[in-house]
Amino acid sequence: MTPEAKSQAIAAALILGGAGIVIYFMPSLVLWIGDFSPVLAVIVGTLLILCFFWIFWLRARYQRRRDR
């Protein structure tokens, strides 16, 4: 395995691990916030899911700039 491939695999594992932890705790967090405001709970849940895709978008953008 090349050093670049190893770095990419580690980064992907860290991102997926972090996302897994967030998704694991998200239902209880959203339910807790929903006790105060259902609208705020929807917003927080949506933002947590969008952050997962945002991180991969940022990483892809970084990779494209680095490869130039």
CA distances from 47 to 21, 22, 24, 31, 32 (A): 15, 11, 15, 15, 16
Ranges of each domain in the chain? 3-63
Residue-wise pLDDT tens digits, 36-56: 999 999 999 999 989 888 988
Instruction: Examine the pLDDT at 67 and tell me if it is beyond 80.
Output: no
pTM, to two decimals: 0.71
27 pLDDT above the threshold of 80: yes
CA–CA separation, 47 and 54 (whole Å): 10
Q: Look at residue 65 in the predicted model and tell me its pLDDT.
A: 85
User: Confidence class of residue 12 from pLDDT cuts 50, 70 and 90?
Assistant: confident
What's residue 59's pLDDT?
A: 83
